[in-house]
């Protein structure tokens, strides 16, 4: 018979509670990653008026198991003349970096396990004071999996794709960092739990209400960081035969594939925490900071999961809706579009903090509206010629193409 009291005493220790939570989250995330492939194919079929996977199991729900078995049992060939150590390390790096970001995310707030009115643990694997920097560091290392995979393959097309991905990811990390800076300067903390708590409670609103432009720009940069369409220049199957993982097959290719979805899950949770209140829903009993029961913890984790699923659907919807950017368009969007806007927003956020109006909806939202209107007016007055030609090519009929 299980000693319930003994188990409860163990779970009251934050170390053991975090260990159990980490094991549970790894299982859930791995399952979600596997079924992301299924839902990607189902959503694409829905958008293109097809059926999608429907043979393996009821409604095709066992298709991820069939795909996993195929990856495991498929012949694992390694081309000649590759850099074998790096060739084997690259998919491992991509997968592991995609999986370890979740440890600093606040999943369910504070918890009173035995109902005595005293908070026993926090539903978070780790709660460092610099959790935001940890998540940024892990995310920025993702480029190494791409670069190592392309370089080690001894394939010029794979190297081209890896270099394009490096330029893309480094370029979009700058506006991403400025969007995150806006939240940090307004909250005054790098702890992700503090960022969530700053958006809940009496008189507080989610950061998306205060800084919607920063939210949108951060969402765009996450698309670029995860190499999702329309920013999938690292793969660009129609151009580069698969890009940086052209030479990979079997389970090694599967690890690249799963790592991409793991990055999508982490990125979705990240933007949820920064701008959408994390586990919070306004005016819903059981989802407030003072609700610390075990039931409230599961409700908060469920809300966090639903928000992540909504972003995953958005990632998949966009992939099958928008065309891929040309590379010069992609870089111009970052350096000439997103970066100037982020610099203006960051300066305005610092000003609001200086004058004590950083949580004032009218001032914060008003500044965002003025910026958007200014950008629209500028684009109308300086509308370039729409052309499929790059800007540095010879003019057509006396007019320089965009």
Tell me, yes or no, whether 208 lies in a domain: yes
Segment holding 181, helix H or strand E? helix 156-187
Tell me, yes or no, whether 64 lies in a domain: no
- The full length of the chain comes to 402
Give the integer Cα–Cα distance in Å for 113 and 91.
Answer: 40
Tell me, yes or no, whether 27 lies in a domain: no
- 221 lies in which domain range? 78-381
Give the N- to C-terminal CA distance of the chain in Å, as an integer.
74
SS3 111: strand
The mean of the pLDDT values for the chain is: 84
Express each pLDDT in 136-159 by its tens digit.
888 888 888 888 888 888 888 888
Tell me, yes or no, whether 65 lies in a domain: no
Structurally, the chain folds into a number of domains equal to: 1
Name the phi and psi angles at 160, rounded to 5. -55, -45
Tell me, yes or no, whether 313 lies in a domain: yes
Give me the pLDDT at residue 271, please: 92
Tell me, yes or no, whether 182 lies in a domain: yes
Give me the pLDDT at residue 1, please: 43
Give me the pLDDT at residue 332, please: 87
Tell me, yes or no, whether 181 lies in a domain: yes
Give me the pLDDT at residue 286, please: 78
Q: Is the pLDDT of residue 23 over 70?
A: yes
Give the pLDDT band of residue 392 (cuts 50, 70, 90): low
Q: Is the pLDDT of residue 334 over 70?
A: yes
Tell me, yes or no, whether 59 lies in a domain: no
Taking the model in full, what pTM does it have? 0.88
List residues bridging with 385 in a β-sheet: 401
Express each pLDDT in 282-306 by its tens digit.
888 878 888 888 888 899 999 999 9
Residues of the chain with pLDDT > 90, as a percent, come to: 20
Give the integer Cα–Cα distance in Å for 367 and 350.
Answer: 12
SS3 236: coil
Give the integer Cα–Cα distance in Å for 121 and 86.
Answer: 41
Give the integer Cα–Cα distance in Å for 361 and 356.
Answer: 12
**Which residues 6+ apart lie within 8 Å of 71 measured at CB?**
250, 251, 253, 254
Over range 82-98, report the average pLDDT. Answer: 86
Give me the pLDDT at residue 393, please: 64
């Amino acid at each position: 018979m299980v000693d319930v009291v003994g188990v409860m005493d163990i779970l009251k220790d934050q170390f053991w509670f975090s260990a159990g939570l980490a094991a549970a989250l790894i299982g859930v995330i791995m399952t979600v990653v596997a079924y992301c492939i299924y839902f990607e194919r189902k959503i694409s079929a829905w958008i293109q008026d097809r059926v999608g996977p429907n043979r393996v199991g009821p409604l095709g729900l066992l298709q991820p198991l069939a795909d996993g078995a195929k990856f495991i049992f498929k012949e694992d060939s390694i081309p000649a003349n590759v850099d074998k150590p790096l060739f084997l390390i690259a998919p491992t790096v991509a997968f592991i970096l995609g999986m370890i970001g979740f440890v600093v995310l606040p999943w369910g707030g504070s918890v009173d396990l035995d109902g005595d009115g005293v908070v026993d643990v926090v539903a978070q694997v780790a709660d460092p004071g610099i959790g935001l920097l940890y998540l940024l560091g892990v995310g920025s290392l993702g480029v190494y999996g791409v670069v190592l995979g392309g370089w080690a393959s001894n394939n010029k097309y794979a190297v081209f794709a890896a270099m394009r991905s490096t330029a893309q990811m480094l370029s979009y990390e700058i506006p991403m960092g400025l969007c995150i800076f806006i939240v940090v300067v307004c909250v005054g903390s790098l702890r992700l739990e503090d960022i969530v708590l700053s958006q809940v409670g009496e008189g507080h609103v989610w950061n998306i209400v205060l800084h919607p432009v920063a939210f949108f720009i951060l969402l765009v940069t996450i698309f670029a960081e995860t190499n999702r369409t329309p920013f999938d220049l690292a793969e660009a199957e129609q151009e580069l035969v698969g890009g940086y993982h052209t030479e990979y097959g079997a389970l090694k290719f599967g690890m690249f594939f799963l790592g991409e979805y793991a990055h999508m899950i982490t990125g979705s949770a990240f933007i949820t925490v920064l701008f959408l209140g994390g586990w919070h829903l306004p005016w819903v009993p059981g989802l407030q900071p003072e609700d610390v029961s075990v039931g409230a913890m599961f409700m908060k984790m469920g809300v966090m999961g639903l928000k992540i699923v909504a972003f995953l659907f958005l990632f998949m919807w966009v992939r099958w809706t928008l065309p891929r950017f040309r590379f010069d368009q992609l870089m111009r969007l970052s350096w000439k579009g997103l970066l100037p806007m982020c610099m203006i927003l960051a300066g305005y956020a610092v000003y609001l903090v200086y004058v004590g109006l950083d949580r004032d909806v009218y001032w914060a939202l008003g500044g965002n509206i003025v910026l958007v209107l200014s950008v629209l007016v500028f684009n109308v007055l300086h509308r370039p010629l729409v052309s499929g030609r790059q800007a540095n090519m010879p003019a057509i009929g006396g007019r320089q193409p965009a």
